[in-house]
């Protein structure tokens, strides 16, 4: 049990599933990795040609951290060293959908480049 609201986790997973059309999911996927206290949104790509045994490559896009005492989510971006930092352009929110909207819009280009 991760202590995360199940409804919010389901919403993030659905959002990830809808990011990439089914027709190209053999080339790229957006998925959600769940851990105690947070969700990490990752972009996955298949291994290089000829290496069918290797796992898909994974690159973190964003992290949503949950604070149970306040019931809010905070949005984090990753830097070039794969470290996460608080994203200041969206305040913590009880509605995870608002933070997903910010990732989708990506007004600073920090999530999707």
Query: Above 90 in pLDDT, residue 47?
Result: no
pTM confidence score: 0.91
Condensed to tens digits (0 to 9), the pLDDT of residues 27-46 reads: 999 999 999 999 999 999 99
Q: Which residue has the higher pLDDT, 79 or 113?
A: 79
Condensed to tens digits (0 to 9), the pLDDT of residues 93-111 reads: 999 999 999 999 999 999 9
8 A C-beta contact, residue 103 and residue 75: yes
Question: How many whole angstroms separate alpha carbon 76 and alpha carbon 85?
Answer: 5
Tracing tokens 């957006």 back to the chain, one arrives at 30
What are the b/e assignments for 16-32, b being 16+ CB within 10 Å?
A: beebbeeeeeeeebbbb
State residue 5 phi and psi, 5-degree precision. Answer: -60, 120
Task: Please tell me the predicted confidence (pLDDT) of residue 93.
Answer: 98
Query: Is residue 94 classed as helix, strand or coil in its secondary structure?
Result: coil
DSSP 29-66: EEEEEEETTEEEEEEEEPPPTT-TTSPPEEEEEEEEEE
Task: Please tell me the predicted confidence (pLDDT) of residue 50.
Answer: 66
């Amino acid at each position: 049990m991760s202590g995360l609201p199940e409804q919010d986790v389901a919403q993030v997973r659905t959002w990830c599933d809808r990011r990439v059309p089914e027709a190209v999911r053999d080339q790229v996927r957006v998925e959600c990795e769940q851990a105690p206290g947070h969700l990490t949104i990752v972009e996955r790509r298949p291994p290089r040609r000829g290496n069918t045994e290797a796992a898909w490559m994974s690159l973190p896009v964003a992290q949503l951290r949950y604070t149970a005492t306040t019931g809010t989510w905070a949005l984090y971006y990753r830097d070039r060293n794969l470290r996460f930092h608080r994203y200041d352009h969206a305040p913590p929110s009880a509605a995870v959908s608002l933070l997903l909207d910010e990732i989708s819009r990506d007004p600073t280009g920090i999530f999707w480049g």
